[in-house]
Amino acid sequence: GQQLNQSPQSMFIQEGEDVSMNCTSSSIFNTWLWYKQDPGEGPVLLIALYKAGELTSNGRLTAQFGITRKDSFLNISASIPSDVGIYFCAGPRTNAGGTSYGKLTFGQGTILTVHP
């Protein structure tokens, strides 16, 4: 089945540092999504990527859709304490014809801790 592998599993950084995390799959995804989960809350969509090679920004966040369509990257610049949380990549499950069913496959998450 479609699986997503995220790395690193956790990161401990100082405020102001830049952060990079990635997500890889053995299967092709036609869409990549990045979510953030704050403690005690549900995941919130940060960035959606729709085309191979696409680079999209949302404030200090930048995500890229890998050319092979089997990976994606998320970068956070100049981290701040409120960036703390769990970051998940996700992609829609598709059938052989490329049709999505609406359900998502998620990675295991990257836990980010930012020290002031």
Please give the size of the binding site for another protein, defined by CB under 8 A. Answer: 24
The helices-and-strands tally (H runs, E runs) of the chain is 0, 11
Per 3-state DSSP, what percentage of the chain is helix, strand, and coil (rounded to 5)? 5, 60, 40
CA distances from 5 to 30, 60, 115 (A): 16, 23, 26
| Under rule CB under 8 A, residue 44 binds another protein | yes
- Cβ proximity to another protein: between 27 and 77 the closer is 27
Q: How far is the CB of 27 from another protein (least distance, A)?
A: 14
| Under rule CB under 8 A, residue 102 binds another protein | yes
Question: Binding to another protein (CB under 8 A): which residues in 21-40?
Answer: 31, 33, 40
| Under rule CB under 8 A, residue 95 binds another protein | no
| Under rule CB under 8 A, residue 85 binds another protein | no
DSSP 30: S
Q: CA 93 to CA 99: how far, in whole Å?
A: 8
Residues at the contact surface with another protein, assessed by CB under 8 A? 4, 31, 33, 40-45, 48, 88, 90, 92-93, 100-109
